[in-house]
Amino acid sequence: MKRIIITVLAFVFVGNAYSQIVKEEKLAEVVVTAVNYKYVNQVGTKDAALPVKMLERKVANFDLKNSDIYNDEYDYYTVSFYIPDGKIVAAYDKDGKIIRTIERFKDINLPQEVRKALVKRFPGWEVEKDVYKVTYGEKKGAKKTYKIKLKNGDKKLRVKSDAEGNFL
């Protein structure tokens, strides 16, 4: 039994003696910047529908300089992004920064504030169709509107709302 314990301890001490020596290597400094953070902050909401979030992230993360359309001669570029639920047309400057966007999505989940406002003002009505529109400008910020078609039996009604549930 003593031999087994001594053998195990010998392996532990010998293993530590031959352990790997780590070389320290200094790497070049890397600076990470979020080019389109203003766009994301303006148009992004916590309870936006998943297709909206997904496409807006794709627009914000689009790498213009490494794309096929990039050429140093142009001052701005217009790029269209499509999914079955909607589309975004974005204008980028030559550095890849978003200047403006036009966004349109059909039949998405409405935000909590808009749903509460609809139930409060139109009890008994149900949403038949909806269109979510966003216009973003670098200087003006984002303007979000919802065009909603309501139905109650044979009656139909169209209303407009902003993202906070205020009717326009």
pTM for the predicted model, two decimal places: 0.74
Q: Is 158 helix (H, G, I), strand (E, B) or coil?
A: strand
pLDDT at 34 over 70: no
Domain boundaries, the chain: 35-162
**Strand 155-162 vs strand 141-152: parallel, antiparallel, or unpaired?**
antiparallel
pLDDT at 10 over 90: no
pLDDT at 16: 60
Q: How far is CA 84 from CA 9, 55, 106, 109, 145, in A?
A: 66, 11, 9, 15, 20
pLDDT at 88 over 70: yes
Mean pLDDT across the chain, nearest whole number?
A: 85
Joined together, the tokens standing for residue 81 give 């992004």
